[in-house]
Amino acid sequence: MEERKAMPLLGDEFPSLKVQTSRGILSIPEHFKGKWFVLFSHPGDFTPVCTTEFVAFQKRYEDFKKLNCELIGLSVDQVFSHIKWVEWIKDNFNVEIEFPIIADTGQVANKLGLIHPGKGTNTVRAVFIVDDKHKIRIILYYPQELGRNIDEIVRVVKAMQISDKNGVAIPANWPNNEEFGDDVIIPPATDEQTARKRIEKANQGEFKCLDWWLCHKKLK
């Protein structure tokens, strides 16, 4: 029996892989040098939920590209199946899939932890969000029966980029948080002096605080 590998963890460098795709052989993450990318697996071509997901990903492809982020799909189907499925989507939805799809023999799925025996032998709906330094920033797993919310994947890519650029944290449901709207969170103070200064700065109008450990502000 082939040994199953532990899945990569947040903060790990994405493993170097040479893969056959619907757009030729690619080396990842090197192919996406200088860019973020979303690698997402699906259980199988020519299946209803996967088809709706691919249409949804394509319809938001421009939103990802505006964030300097590319897409790449994956399943254990052969490349011939990927090509025919993409043609079928074009014919029936008038949507042309512009991103590559990995035709995996099982090697990639095994390395990334995409096969969950308790859910069958197909790849689950996994999402790996990788930054422009090839670091894994977000991992999401869904069962076969539940389609993903693609708007949420766009949101978290944008949120992580804002967090990196501004040194802030992102509240729940951002940018529509029930209490703070589109404000971002200032990381809490880690010493007494900084905690006191937080309240002083809040009183001066630099940002708002409910307490020294919960401060928020608008992005400039």
pTM of the predicted protein model: 0.90
At 121 the pLDDT is: 59
Instruction: Find, among 100, 156, 96, 102, the residue nearest to 131 by Cα.
Output: 156
Q: Catalytic residue among 50, 69, 209, 215, which?
A: 50
Q: Classify residue 203 by burial, with Cβ atoms within 10 Å: 0-12, 13-18, 19+.
A: exposed
> Is 50 designated active site?
yes
Domains of the chain and any CATH numbers:
17-148 (3.40.30.10), 167-220 (3.30.1020.10)
The list of the chain residues with pLDDT below 50 reads 1-4
Beta bridge partners of 39: 72, 128
At 2 the pLDDT is: 47
H or E element at residue 163: helix 150-166
Model confidence over 72-90: pLDDT tens digits? 999 888 999 999 999 999 9
